[in-house]
Structure 1
Amino acid sequence: MLKHRLLHPEITEVLARAGHHAKVLIADGNYPASTAIGPNARLVSLNLAPGLVTVSQVLETLLTAIPVDEINTMGIPSDDPYALKGDPPAWTDYRRIVSAAGLDVKLTPIDKWQFYDAVASRDHVLTIQTADQQLWANVLLTLGCRTD
């Protein structure tokens, strides 16, 4: 019987095998998850219908189960046709979730193309594809160490 909120068997299996520095992508509904994936990563599709499930829902659940050292968002190039003025609304929600989880970790945007490179790395172990319709809602988690 698990005490944390994460119940999905495949996601739990991958996270249980992952170690320090492993990367987990929670992808929005627009992310090209089938092609932009690391060589060692597993893809789990949770995109049931538009908006079900969201990146925020997955992030909140994962933070009950794993230690996290770093949280990266996809930085928005100013010349991108989907560029926004300021931070995407999703990032405010992520900051609230991280704070509520008691983590002292900042959301750090990395350049869009560096984000894709980070996902393509050998350290990428899991992509969770959501159906989140918000733009720029992708989150890349770097796992930390269990210390208790």
Structure 2
Amino acid sequence: MLKGVPSMISPELIKVLMEMGHGDKLLIADGNFPAYRCGEKIIRCDGVSISEILNAVLYLFPLDVKVKKPVTLMNITADETPPESWEWYKKIIAKNHAAEYEFDYRDRFEFYEKAKESYAIIATTDISYKGNILLEKGVVR
């Protein structure tokens, strides 16, 4: 154990977060996301919500302030209401980062292609509708 590291951050996950460099992407995926089709480095985080692991990761993980939209979500159709989880994500990001960020929204298959650029995917069993969130890593100053 280490002091100050959220308990849901496994040794495997902390290793991956430390390996990542500026501009690398990390996907936190819901239980329906085809993680094993979209990535090679998969870290299981079962029984934990995306909001919980997002909060734990962002405690350690800087978002890229040099890009306009370092956070990407899977878009909804025109007739859908934005998922409640998106508001949670905004609050979690605001709590952990001083800068305000715009989100990038990608249609389903475009999101899958962008997810393939991820350095790693945290695969959860969360069933939040369109809960996937892709983060671009910044630098520690």
Question: What are the ranges of 5 or more consecutive residues in structure 2 without an aligned counterpart?
Answer: 65-69
Taking only aligned residues, the RMSD between alpha carbons, in angstroms, comes to 1.6
State TM-score, norm by structure 2.
0.86
In the alignment, structure 1 residue 72 sits paired with structure 2 residue 72? yes
CA distance in 2, matches of 1:130, 1:60: 14
Q: Deviations over 1:37-61 (max 9, x none)?
A: 2xxx4101112xxxx2111011000
Match of 2:15 in 1: 13
Q: Deviations over 1:9-45 (max 9, x none)?
A: 00110111110110100000110111122xxx41011
Name the CA shift for 1:67/1:102 in 2 (closer, same or farther; >3 Å).
closer
State TM-score, norm by structure 1.
0.82
Map residues 131-146 of structure 1 onto 2, 5 A cutoff. 131-146=125-140
Shift of 1:75: 1.2
What percent of counterpart residues are identical? 28
Question: What are the ranges of 5 or more consecutive residues in structure 1 without an aligned counterpart?
Answer: 79-83
Match of 2:43 in 1: 44
In the alignment, structure 1 residue 119 sits paired with structure 2 residue 121? no
CA distance in 2, matches of 1:24, 1:67: 11
Match of 2:67 in 1: none
Shift of 1:64: 0.5
- Do 1:21 and 1:143's aligned partners in 2 also have CA atoms closer than 8 Å? yes
State the number of aligned residues: 133
Match of 2:55 in 1: 60
Name the CA shift for 1:113/1:77 in 2 (closer, same or farther; >3 Å).
farther
